[in-house]
Amino acid sequence: MTRSSPAAASQPPYPSSSPRPPLPGWAETLRQKYLAGEASVFVLYRNVFDRYQVGARYYTLLPLLSEVLLKDNKQQIFELSIDRGVRIVQGSSAQGKIELYRHLEGKGLAGIFESLERQMLEQRSSALLIPYAGTLFPAAEPHLLSLDERGAFTALHRWSLDEEFSDRDNVVILVSESLADISPALLTHPRIVAIELPMPDREARHATIGHYAPSMPAAEAELLADHTAGLRLIQLASIVASEAPQALSEQQRRSLIVGLLQGSPNAEQRAQRLATITAGMTPGEIQQLVDPTRALPEEDPAGEMLAVVRQRKRELIEKECAGLIEFIEPRHGLDSVGGNEHIKSELLEIARLIRSGDRARAPMGLLAVGPMGAGKTFVIKAFLKEAGLSGVALKNFRSKWVGSTEANLERVLATVKAMGPIALVIDEGDRSFGSSGDSDGGTGSRVIARLKEFMSDPENRGQVLFILMTNRPDKLDTDIKRPGRLDRKIPFFYAETAAERAAVIGAIFRRYQVVALDLTDAALHEACEALEGYSNADLEALALLAAEFAERARTALTSALLKQAIDDFMPPQEIAMVHYMEMLAVSETSRRSLLPQRFRALSVQEVQTRLAEFRRQINR
């Protein structure tokens, strides 16, 4: 990669008869930008701790840069890190190395940059690699930096502008997982170019599976490539190929699984599939995964393999995101939801669009609003199962450390985007993304701005479905709720009639397998007449209390026991707040047809008047 000789491609030497293998897309972008003279200082970020394929080999990042991209056209390659100081990766005689280290001795960071600058100007065509760049150029206010850190920042900034430094064919490459870790003053400089290393796409995953598991049948490799979106290649390799010499070999895993499945139908075929995707696992972990009693349907023989892959994928991604996200595994579909027929119809139509792959008509996001206990969380989870969508819940990513909140959000968004199609579920959205003013130094506003940008990205339509749930939409940033970000606003209310309340309680009894003796539909309907104003959460607590009374009496549930539970149960009394949250849901809904009849005819002015009145009652 030298400006003076563009024909000298950034590849290791290959026989003239063999075509040179292509570079990864990001590496070719870096090479072209450098050859065009656009910059001599680059920042590589995002997926920097992965493996990258060049020809038949897989490299980690620094070896790829030094052994492939720079090897044949840089006389010297240096590596600078805070833990190992300066390493000479390529070039310089033994005497030269001694002189360099002697010159650096006791001079600190400022002396290191001074010596490197002298070396790179005296001897043409050098490269400097700086891994973990955020530790040398941290994202902090200048007055908080040490004198050495300020000196390092100034030196790099000056190099990016120095024509002599550039003309002598020198290049500096910084590496950081997150741009938020690096001083923003460097990133906004026009002569410093940031290049994103993306998460691997399906083609890259399929090639990696073929490389590390060449004996895997083609059909299973295709399925595995489809179901491992969001994994890095280094993680995918850990699933399909054991590289640690002390780990079980594929044959050993196969023999272990055959023993576990002894007597089960198709034990040999099942063992072969499972052995391929349990690399790196201990015998105990394999025993927990293998279920000899599971009956596999003939139409889906690879279902067991994919279930194991999904479990391992979940573990890897949750570990990588350090508790920032949590996978959602709904157990019930919309058929387990009692009442809410108009909401279920709306969600079933959205689920149909997603399953059909109709990305153009799929909504960008959903906003579920309504008073507490109205069933928002349960219904949304049931919708995910109905739509066949994987779901992750966004946990608390805010941090007290400068830049960490933004870095956490970027990591989550990059992971989620790579896993699509997927739903990103944010419960109590007003807490995560409500306006926080300037009390946090502007972090909240930057987080919301980045979230808005991601939510309105057209590439995410049909790939990432945002679902926000809140009972206080008035605390959300107004612009985040507009169409194009949250297209469908679905209001949730307490059951309006005795019939709806009976449907909710009946669904709860079925879900918890409560056996009723003389509790006919008519008797249940009659009992529910007295439950006006009960939330879905209240109805569930009441139903479970009745089931508890039946268990204590060692009998099936009866009408008398249900009446006893109704008389004994005391629901929360927060009527003013519930009315206020109901009117907030009315004001936010995107369609009148989703509202109960008592709200459909209200004008906008009437809604605002009622909101103001309920607000005054709460304040009093």
Q: Which of 352, 341, 581, 366 is nearest to 466 (CA)?
A: 366
Q: Which of 415, 343, 356, 424 is nearest to 387 (CA)?
A: 356
Distance between CA atoms of 378 and 334, rounded to whole angstroms? Answer: 9
Map tokens 């009093």 to a residue.
620
148: Cα separation from own chain's centroid: 36
Domains, in order of start, for the chain: 25-197 (3.40.50.300), 210-319 (no CATH), 325-491 (3.40.50.300), 507-620 (no CATH)
How buried is residue 96: exposed, middle or buried, by Cβ count under 10 Å (0-12/13-18/19+)?
middle
Share of the chain above pLDDT 70, in %: 88
Q: Mean pLDDT lowest for which of 196-210, 244-258, 317-331?
A: 244-258
17: pLDDT confidence band, cut at 50, 70 and 90? very low
372, amino acid identity: M
Distance between CA atoms of 493 and 372, rounded to whole angstroms? Answer: 9
Distance between CA atoms of 1 and 20, rounded to whole angstroms? Answer: 14
At 236-291, the pLDDT tens digits run 988 887 555 566 788 888 888 888 888 777 788 888 888 888 877 778 878 777 77
Q: What token pair was written down for 59? A: 């490299």
At 461-491, the pLDDT tens digits run 888 899 999 999 988 888 888 888 898 999 9
Taking phi first (over 0 means left), then psi (-120 to 50 degrees means alpha), and beta for anything else, what does residue 503 get?
Answer: alpha
Q: Please, what is the Cα angle at 500 between 494 and 505, to 5 degrees? A: 90
φ and ψ at residue 602, rounded to 5 degrees: -70, 135
Distance between CA atoms of 87 and 75, rounded to whole angstroms? Answer: 14
Query: Strand ranges (DSSP E) for 177-304?
Result: 192-197
φ and ψ at residue 434, rounded to 5 degrees: -70, 160
- Mean pLDDT over the full length of the chain: 84
pLDDT at 16: 42
CA torsion angle 510 511 515 521 (round to 10) = -30
Q: At what angle do helices 202-212 and 233-240 cross, to 10 degrees?
A: 40
Q: Which helix (H) or strand (E) holds 175?
A: strand 171-176
8: pLDDT confidence band, cut at 50, 70 and 90? very low
Distance between CA atoms of 601 and 473, rounded to whole angstroms? Answer: 22
CA 542, 546, 547, 548 torsion-angle sign: positive
Distance between CA atoms of 540 and 548, rounded to whole angstroms? Answer: 12
At 128-185, the pLDDT tens digits run 999 999 988 888 777 777 888 888 888 888 888 888 888 889 999 999 998 888 888 8
Q: Which of 336, 608, 380 is nearest to 490 (CA)?
A: 380
Distance between CA atoms of 120 and 127, rounded to whole angstroms? Answer: 8
Q: How many CA atoms lie within 13 A of 426 on its CB side?
A: 27
| Cross-strand partners of 259 | none
Is 70 exceeded by the pLDDT of residue 100?
no
Contact present, 117 and 143 (Cβ < 8 Å): no
Distance between CA atoms of 353 and 22, rounded to whole angstroms? Answer: 38
6: pLDDT confidence band, cut at 50, 70 and 90? very low
Contact present, 211 and 243 (Cβ < 8 Å): no
Distance between CA atoms of 250 and 452, rounded to whole angstroms? Answer: 46
At 527-555, the pLDDT tens digits run 999 999 899 999 999 999 999 999 999 98
Is 60 exceeded by the pLDDT of residue 568?
yes
Contact present, 542 and 531 (Cβ < 8 Å): yes
396: pLDDT confidence band, cut at 50, 70 and 90? low
Is 80 exceeded by the pLDDT of residue 99?
no
Map tokens 């966004």 to a residue.
394
Q: What token pair was written down for 322? A: 């350090």
Q: Which of 570, 354, 367 is nearest to 470 (CA)?
A: 367
pLDDT at 18: 54
Distance between CA atoms of 224 and 445, rounded to whole angstroms? Answer: 40
Q: Is the pTM of this model over 0.85?
A: no
Contact present, 586 and 491 (Cβ < 8 Å): yes
Q: At what angle do helices 498-511 and 521-528 cross, to 10 degrees?
A: 120
Is 70 exceeded by the pLDDT of residue 354?
yes
Distance between CA atoms of 144 and 78, rounded to whole angstroms? Answer: 28
142: Cα separation from own chain's centroid: 32
For 426, 485, 533, the CA distances from 451, given in Å and listed in that order, are: 12, 10, 36
pLDDT at 286: 81
At 290-322, the pLDDT tens digits run 777 766 655 566 677 778 888 888 888 888 777
pLDDT at 45: 95
505: pLDDT confidence band, cut at 50, 70 and 90? very high
